[in-house]
Amino acid sequence: MPGLEVTAVVLVAVVVPTWPARRLHANEPVLLVAGGCLIGLTPDFRTVRG
């Protein structure tokens, strides 16, 4: 089921940058944008098909 995989990746993409940002008192939106850019560069997630 592709919808569940995409949901899991988005959840990880939000949690992974947010946790260290809060611990290091860094800017969360910058890390979230960087994480989104990294996901966009991943070949399997360039286009999402439902």
**Single-letter code of the amino acid located at 21:** A
- Long-range Cβ pairs for the range 22-25 (8 Å, 24+): none
Q: With beta carbons less than 8 A apart as the criterion, state whether 48 and 6 touch.
A: yes
Task: Locate the domains of the chain by residue range.
Answer: 2-45
C-alpha 47: how far from chain center:
15
In this prediction, residue 36 carries a pLDDT of 79
Q: What is the pLDDT along the chain (50 residues), one digit of tens a residue?
A: 467 877 887 788 788 888 888 888 888 888 888 877 877 777 765 566 65
In this prediction, residue 17 carries a pLDDT of 83
Q: With beta carbons less than 8 A apart as the criterion, state whether 30 and 36 touch.
A: no
- Pair of tokens at residue 11: 């959840």
